[in-house]
Structures are given as structure tokens and as C-alpha cells.
Amino acid sequence: MSDANLFAQQAANRRRSFWLVAGFLTLFAWVGFGGDYALYLLTAAGPRGAYHHVVPFIGLLTTTLAAGICAYAWKTGPRRVLLAAGAWEIVAPATPAQKQLDNVVEEMAIAAGLPKPTVWVVPDPDLNAFATGHDPMHASVAVTQGLLDTLDRDELQGVVAHEMSHIQNDDVKLMTLLAGMLGAVALLSDTMGRYLRSGGRVGVPSRGGRGGGKGGNSLGALLLVLWVFTLLIAPVVTRLLAMAVSRKREFLADATAAQFTRNPGALARALEKLDASAVGTRSITQGAAHLCIVDPAERKISDREGFLGDVFASHPPIRMRIARLRGMAFQEMKREGQSLPA
Amino acid sequence: MFIPFLVVLIGVALWMVSVYNGLIGLRNQAQNAWTQIDVQLKRRHDLIPNLVNTVKGAMEYERGTMEAVIAARAKAMGAQGVKATAEAEGQLTQTLGKLVALMENYPDLKASTNVLQLQEELTSTENRIGFARQQYNDSATSYNTRQQQFPANLVAGMAGATPADLWVIADGAERAVPAVDLSLRLPGA
């Protein structure tokens, strides 16, 4: 990839990260202050001496919480993603396979012109890989034990090159932030939802209901409905966002990997093997699915083209990715004047 | 009359400074990339005696090939500058390739974990040299292009910029860069 193109990619990812954090803070502020406003309207008509919700402490609390979550997701994100998957770091390679992985990562770091990322293994029999980190200088690559056992050297190189290109593009920053936030939003939605269901209606007395018909109260009720709706839909929206971001990045990472290794056919073969392993990667939760080279849940939706796949899949259809890589490999062979293998 | 002249003069001076610094930055990048190659070449030179010592017992009859490897290594270690290094290392690559190909004829060697380990190290080292060379050629090319472009070439002499030699591969066995198609459609569709 040319330098200008690379810088454009990195700048775009920085921009995306900024909007992600801004959107996240806005969501939490809305959840907090919206709730405050609804409570204010609902309690405003109450009699003297009853509870009047004046200080917007819910909003202050959720916004501070959101800022805290962002900082936390940023600071501990990479490590938490790795630990959640149960990965362990290869410090001193013990087996030939580990040595080979370590070597391949070093080679790809040279090809990308970056310092070598730390190398991790996820003890899972399925085939998958992901990268995480703060920036291209401080990153980690993790592959599953199944991948290590199944792929040959060239295929492993293709997969590591794919991850290396996520690191070089600064995809990892965005993706890791998203992973941290996905977890936080799910937690928020769960807690608030449980709180609402358990009838914890702070200071919304039934008396308020009798005083209905006043403009303030029906607006308050509407706001409350909207607010609850936001809480219910927030996790879905964040997940869709994570998937949308991830889907676009996969084709680019495949193409850059082909440039690093000059061997697109090997990555195509690796993807075929990854596709063929029908079991899901159990060690990797949905919260980190968008980080992986293939969808760890092995959901059918990821195979679909068209609108449904565009909205709900975290990865583009793997067959389409393989077809493109094969196309590159074919062009290369044609240029070198080789004949096609049967 | 005097002030516009001064403004232009300062503008030109600032431009020259920025071009000068840009050239120095590019040169340092190319030099740094060359250091990376050097590190990997040293790794290769250190590996070869190990490899030869390991296989020498089993490969009595290939003494000539092994001696050629040793000689090529000695010559490569003494080479100075990009062109001489590229040529000597190319020789070493060829002789080493021959030795590794001959090792295929010795099933005992292929079964030994020691040899397998050495082969993995050798493969990795060859790959690293290849990728480091790519990096070096890329950064040397952008350095060369910058200093030859008009009007930057007017400052190039002042910055002491001379074209950096590229590491050219003699044999055509190297893999070419694959064409990259980022448009969202299937090839051939």
C-alpha cells in the first residue's frame, strides 16, 4: 500500500474512533439526562412536599460513567480482549509450531515496517485469529491452537499478514475501543432494564398518573417510553455498528495481506480451511467477534450477500473473499507466464 | 516595493528548509531500512556454519556444494555497499538453494528435528531478508524520486543527496507484487 493511502486509512480510523467515543458519550448522556427530564416532568405536578426531581443526578452519573468506561476501555481494552479469550503469550517458543508462528509474525512485521507485535495463542480447537492493541507500535496478534495445528507455513503467513494489516491501518484501535464499549452498553442495558422491570420507579407516584392530562405529564410519559426504548435498542445498535465497521475492513485487510506476502493464493487456502471448520470458536465471545478474521460464531448470516448480510453479518461472505484472493493469485500467475494448476 | 520582495524571499527560504529536511528524513529512512537488511543478513551468515556442520556428516558426497556455500558466505560477509552486497548475497542464495535442494535426497536428514529446526530458521531468515529488501527498495525509491523531482532537485545538491542504489534481483525467481483490486465486486463479475 502506498504511503498516502496508508495515512488516509489511519486518519479515517482516527476520525471513526473520535465519532465512536462522541456517539457513545451522547448515548449515555441521553439515557441519563432524558431520564432526569422525564422524572422532572412527572414529579413537577406532584403536591408540595412530595419528591421533586430537580437535580439531574442520573444524567451526571451516566455521563461520568460513560467517560470512565471510555477511558477504561481504552486503557485496558487490548489486554482484556486477550484475557477474555483465555490467550497466553508466546514468550519463549517451546514447540516447532510456536517457533514458526513467532518467526512468521516477525517476518510480517518486517514486511509492514512495524515493530514486532506480541504473539498470543488461544487454546481453542477451532481456526481463528485476531489482532488488538492501542496503535501500530503497541499491538498483539493472537491465533487459536487449532489454526496453529492445521495451517501450513504459507497459509499461516497469509493469516498473520491479514492481522498485521489491521494493525498497520490502525483498525485495531477502533475495533478494541468498540469491543470495550459493546461490553459496557450490554451491561448498562441489562442493569437498567432489570431496574425498570423490578418496579424501581423512583418518585413516580401513582398520584402523578391521576394528574394526567396536563401537557407536562404526557410529554414525560412519552419521554419515558422513548428512553426505555433507547435502553432496549442500544446493545443492538452498537453491535450493528461494530459489524458494519468490521465488514468494510476485511476486504482491505485481505488485499494488504496479499501485498505483504505476495502470495494471495495461500491466504485463500487458509480462508477455505477456516471456513471448513464448522464448529464455532467458543473461547471468543460475541463482544469480540468483529476483531476476528472469520466470524467466531460461524453464523449462517455471514454467508449471505445482499441487504440482510450487509446489516447483520460481522464479516463479508467468506467465499467472496476467497474468490477475490484467487483473482489476485491468477493475475499474478498470468503475469509470470505460468499455467493454471489443474 | 521592498516588502513584497522580502516576503517572497522568506517564502523561498522556508520552502528550501522544508525540502531540505524532507530529503534528510527520507535518507534516514532508507538508511534505517538498510540497517534492517544488515541485521537479517548477519542472521543468515550466522546460520550457515550451523547448517553445514549439521549436514556435513550425512552429505559426504556433496562436499563441493558445501564448500561453494562456505566460499559464497565468506565473500558475502566481506561485501561493501548495496551493489556488491546484492551481488554476493545473490550468489549465496543460489548456492544455498542448491544445498537445500540436495538435502531432499537424504531422508535421514529430513527426519531429524535438528535439521527441521535449522530449515525453519533458514526459511524465516530468507523471508525476512526478502521483506526487508522490499522495505529498503521502497524507501530508497521514494528518496530517489523526491530528489530528482523539480523543483526539489535544486535543493538536493545542498542536502548532499545522491541517488541510493536499489537492491536489484538478478534472477527472475522473485515473486511480483500482486495486483490489488479494492472495488467491491467479484473478479470477472
CA distance A108 to chain B (A): 8
Residue A120: inside a domain: yes
Reported as a pLDDT band with limits 50, 70 and 90, residue B178 is very low
- Tally of domains within chain B: 1
Contact of A192 with A32, CB cutoff 8 Å = no
Distance, CA of A236 to CA of A304 (rounded, Å): 19
Say if residue A256 is in the same domain as residue A109.
Answer: yes
Reported as a pLDDT band with limits 50, 70 and 90, residue B59 is confident
Reported as a pLDDT band with limits 50, 70 and 90, residue B184 is very low
Domain containing residue B64: CATH number: 1.20.1440.20
Dig out the grid coordinates for B18 from the structure.
522544508
Say if residue A302 is in the same domain as residue A321.
Answer: yes
Residue B188: inside a domain: no
Closest to A110 (Cβ–Cβ): which among B131, B175, B187? B131
Say if residue A278 is in the same domain as residue A289.
Answer: yes
Say if residue A168 is in the same domain as residue A103.
Answer: yes
Say if residue A188 is in the same domain as residue A278.
Answer: no
Neighbouring residues of A128: CB distance < 8 A, sequence distance ≥ 6: A122, A143, A144, A146, A147, A274, A281, A284, A292, A293, A294, A296
Q: Which A residues 118-157 touch B at CB under 8 Å? A: 153, 157
pLDDT at site B61: 80
- Residues from chain A contacting residue B113 (CB–CB below 8 Å): 96
* Closest chain B residue to the Cα of A265, Cα to Cα: B178
Contact B178 A331 (CB under 8 A): yes
Residue B63: inside a domain: yes
Closest to A262 (Cβ–Cβ): which among B116, B177, B188? B177
Query: What is the full DSSP assignment across A98-137?
Result: HHHHHHHHHHHHHHHTSPPPEEEEE--SS--EEEEEEETT
* Residues of chain A with confidence (pLDDT) below 70: 1-4, 188-189, 192-220, 278-279, 285-287, 298-314, 336-342
Say if residue A36 is in the same domain as residue A111.
Answer: no
Model confidence over B83-108: pLDDT tens digits?
A: 888 888 888 888 888 888 888 888 88
pLDDT at site A216: 55
Q: pTM to 2 decimals?
A: 0.74
Q: How far is CA A160 from CA A44, A86, A105, A153, B132, in A?
A: 60, 19, 6, 10, 17
Residue A327: inside a domain: yes
Check if B6 contacts A (Cβ < 8 Å): no
pLDDT at site A339: 57
Mean pLDDT of chain B: 82
Check if A48 contacts B (Cβ < 8 Å): no
CA distance A100 to chain B (A): 7
Contact of A316 with B177, CB cutoff 8 Å = no
Say if residue A130 is in the same domain as residue A258.
Answer: yes
Dig out the grid coordinates for B36 from the structure.
534492517
Domain containing residue A157: CATH number: 3.30.2010.10
Q: Is the pLDDT of residue B176 over 60?
A: no
Residue B99: inside a domain: yes
Domain that holds residue B96: 14-156
Residue A341: inside a domain: no
Model confidence over A307-324: pLDDT tens digits?
A: 555 556 667 778 888 888
Model confidence over A143-199: pLDDT tens digits?
A: 999 889 989 989 999 999 999 988 988 888 888 888 777 777 777 667 766 666 665
Amino acid at A330: F
Q: Which of A200, A220, A243 corresponds to the end of one domain?
A: A243
Query: What is the full DSSP assignment across A178-194?
Result: HHHHHHHHHHHHHHHHH
Q: Is the pLDDT of residue B185 over 50?
A: no
Q: Is the pLDDT of residue B110 over 60?
A: yes
Least confident of A194-203, A263-272, B54-63, B122-131: A194-203
Q: Which A residues 184-213 touch B at CB under 8 Å? A: none
Q: Which of A243, A260, A277 corresponds to the end of one domain?
A: A243
pLDDT at site B172: 45
Domain that holds residue A278: 84-172+244-335
Distance, CA of A164 to CA of A109 (rounded, Å): 7
CA distance B111 to chain A (A): 14
Q: Which residues pair with A13 in a beta bridge?
A: none
- Tally of domains within chain A: 2
Say if residue A10 is in the same domain as residue A64.
Answer: yes
Q: Is the pLDDT of residue B138 over 80?
A: yes
pLDDT at site A198: 62
Model confidence over B10-47: pLDDT tens digits?
A: 999 999 899 889 899 999 988 988 988 899 999 999 99
Contact of A109 with A168, CB cutoff 8 Å = no
Q: How far is CA A233 from CA A227, A230, A240, A336, in A?
A: 10, 5, 11, 53
Say if residue A255 is in the same domain as residue A329.
Answer: yes
Residue A301: inside a domain: yes
Active site residue A163: yes
Check if B144 contacts A (Cβ < 8 Å): no
